[in-house]
Chain A
């Protein structure tokens, strides 16, 4: 903490940044100081406020919607749009790349800033400049190559070239390597090093501590919307443990119902599960994953964004995602091959997806239609849907799950997040599965509803179901589960008994790329 730094060395100073969304304080007096020509890493758990901070910086949230000061290159910055921040030399590259697949590299780089001569696009100049830019990022490609022919790693480099075309002085990279394989990641880190030599400052948001340790000059750790630590690296070495402690160091309060598990025999077993990314050939979403879950047991799956938890869950659930390579599933001791979701449901599997609105619900449907939608067979009489059965099933769950709604024939879109999630849970309780995979079951839900959902999950386990609990919140994983597996980049990196685990030990396993 020798922060007797000359203020003039700082290209960026963000002081006391506070940003509120209706009722939620996403950022609370955050401070960020970035020196010129350094690689500055921002670390924090999912939802800590990193992306919000970058959106404040780049003008996505215009000046006036937050409080606090931004001083960039010696001047107070009041950006109203991304365009304004770009004019000053701040360029943000998002996790989801924003290139247009059908257009060429050159067209993409100058999209919105087309080089004109007497009102028409000057293609010669565009091409020459693109060649220069591509050379600077180390891409040897024809500027007229369409983006869709490029790999993700190459696309990332094109994004950087695009940033360079805007005379960038501060480049922000949000999870730049999360979708890249090792070789491409290494390329990218090398490029960041060479940018640093040329005087360009980089802010890098990343979950991969090994990469941070390798490249960052200083680190700011954000937790729950607050800056909790700032470390600078004098000799090029960073204590990964120190980062981890700072990232998770929050007292655990009693937000989880007390529960005595009734654990039985193994009823769900996965062996050598291997799945390939449908978008990036050769990249494995799940790499020889093997695990077991017992009846009555709640097993947590921890991992950072991009670790492959959701992808694994969806591929287990009737190969809903990814390209299946090999691996086997056993339910209650017998091997099953699940080619489709409906087969998976029939064999006793259920999957509650992480994105409720995108994957979990048909927002046009009523509560009752949603409740029965994964098990329509059960409400048929003489081959036709029996509305009174449907109605009473929905009413039963409305009462037992305490879903707050005037009636079950209203649309699910009218419900709050917590109640929507209860409807989704009842939808998956209705087929009476043996194995329940819950993917971020409390995301976007208020504290009170969370507690009810926790109790419900424990109750399901007590009924003898095997529960797989995927969560990005470590306290939740520690509070809810009996056993924990950690994933990192598609590989199983650890198994912990929850009683012996703490946030630091989990975080360590979540950020290691060594296999167990």
Chain B
């Protein structure tokens, strides 16, 4: 245990979740006769869940401030429909339609944020209203008929990176390049962190081996993932929606962990009055988080539109529930103040793997739903059981070593 802590940091709260994820992946792989950890299955898993994970990013921040947003599914569906209809009816170029869609997301978010921050209406209520309003609006707008999406959006919703360079790599070279870059960055950051820790004025001199274990272990994982996604049938790679997701994860991880705004989000969620007395503008923080949520919902809706190639009146139904589940499986607290982007992503991927694995095993949607419900309850119960206060998750710890110490 001591050695484990030296490698992974002092807080092992998220460890059960990561272990559970690995067990599920390997377990399903064996049970399904080797169909889980294949290139095509993983590519599908990522592009088929990217939009929910994007929602979960925004939802994490909403839950950290002690609120909830029930409208994200309806907002995503509504924005997707508006993009599809404006592109078709006004013959707008795809990027103009997308821009309009994102702007619409911000506008809707400002509406939700207004009710919370200026009128003091709990997010649960205002977004419940939003859920009905925008679901109704989608159906109304579309006349219950699907509307085809601009072709270019398919690239973002379900596209792959280009093929180039030598064939002897036996992989998609774009994926290989990205993998090598990630590997290089990871190893460099571990080395860098170790050096900084050595030079730090305070604290004990670090040992070298935990850093080496981290660098080699993490490096192997990155190499494996690169191979898994890059070695699929020709023309496939790490999916584009996955890349969008990764970019968002990096950005929002930085925002929540390393900006004043991020600190304010946690401060408001942890103790609103103390935050106010520390100079945090509570109502502005509320507003921004809610507005951001709808912006991400709009983005998720547009990515889904690209994948589905058409906007349907039922798109986005129940997405909010998946996003909220991901956040809570990732260890966020219902009372606010606790939770990280990284742990939320583990939670979201766990649900995705469960979905995919059960499907491979031929389990029907009905039973899948039952199992997912039980898993959510179990995860939160385990979390409540070994609750510690105020620690970042293990994933957060690993990511912290990218820049800390």
Contact = CB atoms under 8 A, between A and B. Distances in A.
Contact of B275 (A314, A344, A362, A413): A362
B404 A361 contact: no
B201 A341 contact: no
A392 interface: yes
Given A362-B271, A363-B271, A411-B390, A385 B260 contact: yes
Nearest to A342: B279
Interface in B189-219: 196, 200-203
B281 A384 contact: no
Given A376-B263, A385-B259, A411-B391, A345 B270 contact: no
Interface of B: 10, 196, 200-203, 254, 257-260, 262-263, 266-267, 270-271, 273-281, 337-338, 389-391, 400, 403-405
Contacts of A395: 201-202
A317 B277 contact: yes
B390 A363 contact: yes
Interface stretch (A77-85, A366-374, A507-515): A366-374
B277 A351 contact: yes
Contact of B403 (A314, A342, A358, A387): A387
Nearest to B282: A341
B47 to A, nearest CB: 31
A266 to B, nearest CB: 25
A402 to B, nearest CB: 15
Given A341-B276, A362-B270, A411-B390, A385 B281 contact: no
19 contacts: A314-B277, A340-B281, A341-B276, A353-B274, A359-B274, A361-B271, A363-B389, A373-B267, A373-B278, A374-B278, A374-B279, A383-B259, A384-B259, A385-B259, A385-B260, A387-B404, A388-B405, A395-B202, A413-B390
Contact of B266 (A317, A359, A364, A391): A364
Nearest to A384: B258
Contacts of B10: 409
The 10 A-B residue pairs with the shortest CB-CB distance in the complex, in nearest-first order: A362-B270, A342-B279, A411-B390, A364-B390, A364-B270, A362-B271, A387-B404, A395-B202, A384-B258, A376-B260
B281 A360 contact: no
Contacts of A362: 266-267, 270-271, 274-275, 337
Most chain B beta-carbon contacts within 10 A, residue among A317, A364, A409, A413 = A364
Nearest to B270: A362
Contacts of B405: 387-388, 391
A413 B271 CA distance: 13
A320 interface: yes
B386 to A, nearest CB: 15
Nearest to B268: A362
Contact of B337 (A320, A364, A385, A388): A364
A345 B279 contact: yes
Contact of A359 (B273, B279, B280, B391): B273
B274 to A, nearest CB: 5
B315 to A, nearest CB: 36
B279 A360 contact: no
Contacts of B403: 387
A360 B277 contact: yes
Contacts of B262: 385
Interface in A382-422: 383-385, 387-388, 391-392, 395, 407, 409, 411-413
Nearest to A367: B390
A365 B403 CA distance: 20
A384 B254 contact: yes
A248 to B, nearest CB: 32
A380 B261 CA distance: 12
Contact of A342 (B258, B280, B337): B280
B270 to A, nearest CB: 4
A35 B226 CA distance: 87
Interface string A331-356: 00000000011101100000101000
Contacts of B275: 362
Contacts of B274: 353, 358-362
A342 B403 CA distance: 29
Given A342-B280, A365-B267, A387-B258, 16 more contacts: A341-B277, A341-B279, A342-B279, A344-B279, A353-B274, A358-B274, A360-B277, A364-B338, A365-B270, A377-B260, A384-B254, A388-B404, A391-B202, A407-B203, A411-B390, A413-B390
